């Protein structure tokens, strides 16, 4: 080794970065020791805390809506988790108790409560739950920033080719990194399952975590090679080592260039079968990235983003302009608009859904829309009015039975009649589809296919409900896999039944972007893959290099297997 030294950590986001070290040090919040003497003053401290929490939630929601951060579904899930932590009644109750009964200031109460919670999570044997300590620390810092007005938030101006060195990075810090300047990061703490690691991978930032205390010996301005695959950091490398890693960088860039060269090619197999590759997006601005990556349209437009980070429901005009923008920018390519999917982990503070013991199986999505029809009708009117500007389709989420489909279609027909009588133009033949994400819907796919124009399989929830696994629960998350034979049989059955009715089937869950699943889904007969824009080139590369005949053989072989691990090992062998 001709470099000064090498540090070994855990690679969590592949790629090689060469840059200049920037050491990130955050100001520590110490206890003030202030005693709040009177009941009146203590109530004021509680109100300050409550307002800081509200402001913190708004900040996170603002991050979600900021298109410049190029947020992925993974980012959204993590920010949703942070909002959930911020609104945790136990944290609020503990802070209130510290203020009322121990006479702490709001500042000191937050530090004590968050420190105790962080320590509890860090000491857990389960690695996934232990990694949640970083999320708790993040929300604690955010609340403190809002309590202590004037404190600068994260976001220094980094120089070009910066490799960030830190004790740890909060998930929201990682989400908002300027990736045009920060080319990689390494942290002393962290793990593979930390939200920071997940975000880095989604953004394509090479990253190494769990480097240990030796990492903090790096000095600002030193040259660093960071290998996010092997987990190695080389400090002040010599010319020979530098040459080796620059060559590796070139190879990686060449591979990416190969994928980009597929941009304008159709997703056609070697034996001539055509698939459609769509993207999951949240607004019109993301369409540019969709088309840059060779996407042919939008398989999922998440409309709930329009409803979040505000104090009231968007008006019909606001929604109309939002959908119109997407329709125009899509240039007549298909755009499937999912109707409002709130509830579960997506709450609207101004709507006031009562707390539920199991919100994922409660009052959410189409259930709310059919119950609160004024909200639903406003959205449908806006979508239908915008439909004349592009190729829009409407999709209903969280369908569990035939009655819901019929009711939703009746609502659409009522709105169509209303618009027609008012002389307002709309696409009279707009297609209507449903998401298949509940096992009951999958099992009656033959019945539902007669009522709609298309299906879209949401594998994230379908896996969760089929396997009875909360993937955010570290105790059972290992059971969560879309390669479970039960899940695969449901997906296959849905596709088969839809095709009997000559209805196309898309898939818009994480499985669509999993390279290991591509051949299997091809063989099942899936018509459309919908994923994050960045994932499109990799999936297209698999489609165009293989034949449908091979994919069908892969599917046939997999369906005879009875264990996810066996299935995964086999798919790793056959993928090229």
CA separation for the pair 212, 8 (Å, rounded): 9
Query: Active-site residue 411, yes or no?
Result: no
CA separation for the pair 290, 287 (Å, rounded): 5
CA separation for the pair 147, 99 (Å, rounded): 14
DSSP string, 301-322: EEGGGGGSSSSSPPPHHHHHHH
Beta carbons within 8 Å of 117's beta carbon, 6+ residues apart: 91, 136
Tokens of 86: 């911020």
Q: What pairing do the DSSP bridges indicate for beta strands 391-396 and 334-338?
A: parallel
CA separation for the pair 441, 313 (Å, rounded): 30
Tokens of 275: 């698939």
Q: C-alpha angle 45/47/52, rounded to 5°?
A: 95
**Rounded (10°) angle between helices 564-574 and 485-500:** 70
DSSP string, 392-434: EEEEE-S--SHHHHHHHHHHHHHHHHHHHHTT----TT--EEE
The catalytic residue among 22, 96, 107, 195 is 195
Which regions of 174-297 does DSSP assign to beta strands (E)?
182-187, 207-209, 223-227, 232-235, 267-268, 274-281
CA separation for the pair 485, 36 (Å, rounded): 60
Q: What string of H, E and C letters represents the secondary structure of 111-124?
A: HHHHHHHHHHHHCC
Query: Active-site residue 211, yes or no?
Result: no
**Is 363 within 8 Å of 356 (Cβ atoms)?**
yes
Which region holds residue 189: left if phi is over 0, alpha if psi is between -120 and 50, else beta?
beta
Among candidate residues 375, 373, 385, the one with its CA nearest the CA of residue 411 = 373
Beta carbons within 8 Å of 509's beta carbon, 6+ residues apart: 437, 457, 458, 459, 460, 461, 462, 463, 482
The catalytic residue among 211, 369, 463, 508 is 508
CA separation for the pair 547, 89 (Å, rounded): 54
Q: What is the largest CA-CA distance in the chain?
A: 80
Quick one: DSSP state of residue 343? B
Tokens of 82: 């942070």
| H/E stretch holding 167 | none
Count how many Cα atoms sit within 13 Å of the Cα of residue 63 in the half-sphere of its side chain: 25
- Coil vs helix vs strand at 19: strand
**Is 359 within 8 Å of 345 (Cβ atoms)?**
yes
Query: Active-site positions?
Result: 195, 508
């Amino acid at each position: 080794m001709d470099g000064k030294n090498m540090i070994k950590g855990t690679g969590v986001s592949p790629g090689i970065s060469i840059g200049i070290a920037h050491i990130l040090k955050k100001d520590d919040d110490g206890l003030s020791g202030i005693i709040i003497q009177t009941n009146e003053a203590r109530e004021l401290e509680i109100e300050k805390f409550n307002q800081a929490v509200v402001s913190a939630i708004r900040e996170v929601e603002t991050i979600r809506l900021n298109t410049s951060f190029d947020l992925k579904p993974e980012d959204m899930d993590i920010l949703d988790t942070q909002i959930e932590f911020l609104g945790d009644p136990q944290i609020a109750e503990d802070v209130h108790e510290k203020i009322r009964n121990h006479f702490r200031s709001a500042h000191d109460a937050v530090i004590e409560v968050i420190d105790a919670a962080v320590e509890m999570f860090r000491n857990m044997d389960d690695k996934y739950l232990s990694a949640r300590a970083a999320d708790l620390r993040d929300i604690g810092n955010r609340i403190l920033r809002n309590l202590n007005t004037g404190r600068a938030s994260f976001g220094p101006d980094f120089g070009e080719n910066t490799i960030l060195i830190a004790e740890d990075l909060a998930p929201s810090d990682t989400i908002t990194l300027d990736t045009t300047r920060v080319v990689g990061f390494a942290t002393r703490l962290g793990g593979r399952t930390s939200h920071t690691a997940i975000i880095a991978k989604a953004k394509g930032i090479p990253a190494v975590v769990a480097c240990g205390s030796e990492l903090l010996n790096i000095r600002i301005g030193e040259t660093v090679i960071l290998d996010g695959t092997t987990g190695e950091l080389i400090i002040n490398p010599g010319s020979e080592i530098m040459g080796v890693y620059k060559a590796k960088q070139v190879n990686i860039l060449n591979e990416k260039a190969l994928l980009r060269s597929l941009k304008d090619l159709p997703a056609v197999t070697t034996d001539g079968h055509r698939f459609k590759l769509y993207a999951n997006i949240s607004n019109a601005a993301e369409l540019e990235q969709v088309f840059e990556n060779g996407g042919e349209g939008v398989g999922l437009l998440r409309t709930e983003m329009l409803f979040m980070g505000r104090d009231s429901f968007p008006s019909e005009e606001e929604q109309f302009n939002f959908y119109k923008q997407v329709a125009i920018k899509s240039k007549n390519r298909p755009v499937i608009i999912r109707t409002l999917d709130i509830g579960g982990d997506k709450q609207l503070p101004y709507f006031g859904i009562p707390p539920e013991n199991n919100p994922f199986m409660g009052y959410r999505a189409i259930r709310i829309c059919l119950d609160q029809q004024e909200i639903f009708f406003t959205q449908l009117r806006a979508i239908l009015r915008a439909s004349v500007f592009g190729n829009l389709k409407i999709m209903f989420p969280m369908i569990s039975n035939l009655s819901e489909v019929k009711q939703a279609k009746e609502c659409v027909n009522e709105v169509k009649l209303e618009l027609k009588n008012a002389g307002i133009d709309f696409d009279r033949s707009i297609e209507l589809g449903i998401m298949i994400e509940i096992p009951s819907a999958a099992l009656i796919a033959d019945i539902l296919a007669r009522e709609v124009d298309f299906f879209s399989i949401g594998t994230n929830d379908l896996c969760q409900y089929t396997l009875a696994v909360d993937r955010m629960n570290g105790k059972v998350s290992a059971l969560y896999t879309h390669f479970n034979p039960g899940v695969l049989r449901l997906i296959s059955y849905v596709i088969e039944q839809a095709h009997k009715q000559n209805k196309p089937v898309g898939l818009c869950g994480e499985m669509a972007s999993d390279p290991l699943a591509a051949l299997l889904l091809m063989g099942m007969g899936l018509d459309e893959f919908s994923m994050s824009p960045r994932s499109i080139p990799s999936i297209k590369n698999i489609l165009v290099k293989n034949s449908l005949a091979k994919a069908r053989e892969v599917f046939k072989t997999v369906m005879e297997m009875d264990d996810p691990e066996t299935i995964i090992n086999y798919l790793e062998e056959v993928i090229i």
